[in-house]
């Protein structure tokens, strides 16, 4: 279907401005269903709004393609000016009152992998339920260009590994926690009770977690520097399945230590130090956000809560490591059990 009518001049007095909100969501999500969820209306209402917009603009706006719905040339030209206009209108109309977490109603979109879900999300949600019961999180797997997803408003935050200075233009960041790599294996694995040598590590069969389905990673790069390579028997995209595979096979898996702490106990896995020759230095997890949300009171409060939870996780991990390093007292130093005085 094509729309012949053109819209040479817009009369705002007769224009439903809610249609602009719908159009912004449609251009961001490129899906009627997801746009409806984003703005809190039914799919039918969003579809009806798209039909009205097509008639008003004389343009299809979104058309079907092999990869889904894509914007027309005119719609793409509208996208950024419309986003800026809506942000300006929102900023103009918004009240400057302080954010009250106890009464606030907010839905925030967080980009993060299942590492974030395993290590940080349980504590974050516990804090939110206590301090801000009206705040909802939607955790999404970020794409390969998270900066653009932050800029477009699809995501409010991204939690991912990063290094200082690698933020894109308009992106702010703050470090959350450090983590290092360890190996996990089932306790009956032939290598589970030994110190992993570089030769035994390279000869072993491995599992690999590859979110994007690409071959290789930190471990393979480190082995290549030593002129070695390993056999990857299975590669999976998520942390969830991999430890269960390890628990029922003679494969090794290299994972962040905080992930190992979550899965090792329930699955009866051994946690091993990787060979020193690999020089796996670990990584830093950071939270990233766009400049346009930097001063938003609600999102600033939520950022601070996430940072506080990460700090608590770091302190807890430091305390556990200190207890493990502490020397065990000898039997001579142990207090004697209490005995009743002799009867007279």
Residues of each domain in the chain carrying CATH 3.40.190.10 = 106-179+284-324, 181-281
Q: What is the pLDDT along the chain (344 residues), one digit of tens a residue?
A: 444 344 445 566 667 888 989 999 999 999 999 999 999 999 999 999 999 999 988 899 999 888 788 999 999 999 999 999 888 888 777 766 788 999 999 999 999 998 999 999 999 999 999 999 999 999 998 888 899 999 989 999 999 998 666 667 889 999 999 999 999 999 999 999 889 999 999 999 999 998 877 888 889 999 999 999 999 999 998 888 899 999 999 999 999 999 999 999 999 999 999 999 999 988 999 999 999 999 899 999 999 999 999 999 888 766 655 554 555 555 554 455 445 555 54
Token pair belonging to 236: 């999976």
- Residues 204/191, Cβ–Cβ less than 8 Å: yes
Q: Is the dihedral of CA 111, 114, 115, 121 positive or negative?
A: positive
Indicate the DSSP class of residue 334.
S
CA nearest 289: which of 273, 278, 301, 280?
Answer: 301
CATH superfamily of 181-281: Periplasmic binding protein-like II (3.40.190.10)
Q: Rounded to an integer, what distance in angstroms lies between the CA atom of residue 254 and that of residue 203?
A: 14
What three-state secondary structure class fits 150? helix
Rg (CA), the chain: 27
Q: Rounded to an integer, what distance in angstroms lies between the CA atom of residue 267 and that of residue 214?
A: 27
Residues of each domain in the chain carrying CATH 1.10.10.10 = 12-93
CA nearest 261: which of 187, 180, 207?
Answer: 180
Architecture of domain 106-179+284-324: 3-Layer(aba) Sandwich (3.40)
**Does 12-93 carry CATH code 3.90.1170.50?**
no
pTM of the predicted model as reported, rounded to 2 decimal places: 0.66
Q: What dihedral do alpha carbons 217, 218, 220, 222 form, nearest 10°?
A: 160
């Amino acid at each position: 279907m094509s729309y012949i009518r053109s819209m040479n001049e817009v009369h705002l007095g007769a224009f439903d401005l809610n249609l602009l909100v719908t159009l912004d969501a449609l251009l961001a999500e490129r899906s009627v269903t997801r746009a409806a969820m984003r703005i809190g209306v039914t799919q039918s209402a969003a579809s009806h709004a798209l039909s009205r917009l097509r008639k008003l603009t004389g343009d299809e706006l979104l058309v079907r393609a092999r990869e889904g719905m894509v914007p027309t040339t005119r719609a793409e030209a509208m996208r950024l000016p419309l986003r800026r206009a809506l942000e300006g209108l929102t900023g103009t109309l918004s009240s400057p009152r302080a954010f009250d977490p106890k009464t606030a109603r907010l839905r925030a979109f967080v980009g993060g992998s299942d590492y974030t879900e395993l290590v940080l999300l349980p504590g974050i949600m516990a804090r939110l339920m206590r301090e801000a019961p009206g705040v909802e999180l939607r955790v999404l797997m970020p794409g390969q260009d998270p900066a653009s997803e932050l800029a477009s408003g699809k995501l409010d935050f991204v939690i991912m590994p990063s290094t200082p200075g690698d933020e894109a233009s308009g992106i702010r960041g703050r470090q959350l926690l450090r983590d290092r790599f360890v190996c996990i294996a089932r306790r009956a694995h032939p290598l589970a009770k030994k110190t992993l040598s570089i030769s035994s590590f390279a000869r072993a069969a491995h599992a690999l977690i590859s979110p994007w389905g690409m071959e290789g990673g930190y471990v393979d790069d480190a082995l290549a520097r030593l002129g070695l390579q390993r056999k990857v028997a299975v590669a999976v995209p998520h942390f969830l399945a991999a430890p269960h595979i390890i628990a029922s096979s003679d494969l090794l898996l290299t994972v962040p230590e905080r992930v190992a702490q979550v899965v090792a106990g329930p699955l009866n896995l051994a946690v091993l130090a990787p060979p020193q020759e690999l020089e796996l230095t670990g990584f830093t997890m950071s939270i990233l956000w766009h400049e346009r949300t930097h001063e938003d009171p609600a999102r600033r409060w939520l950022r601070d809560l996430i940072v506080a939870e990460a700090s608590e996780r770091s302190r807890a991990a430091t305390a556990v490591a200190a207890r493990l390093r502490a020397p065990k007292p000898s039997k001579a130093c142990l207090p004697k059990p209490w005995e009743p005085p002799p009867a007279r």
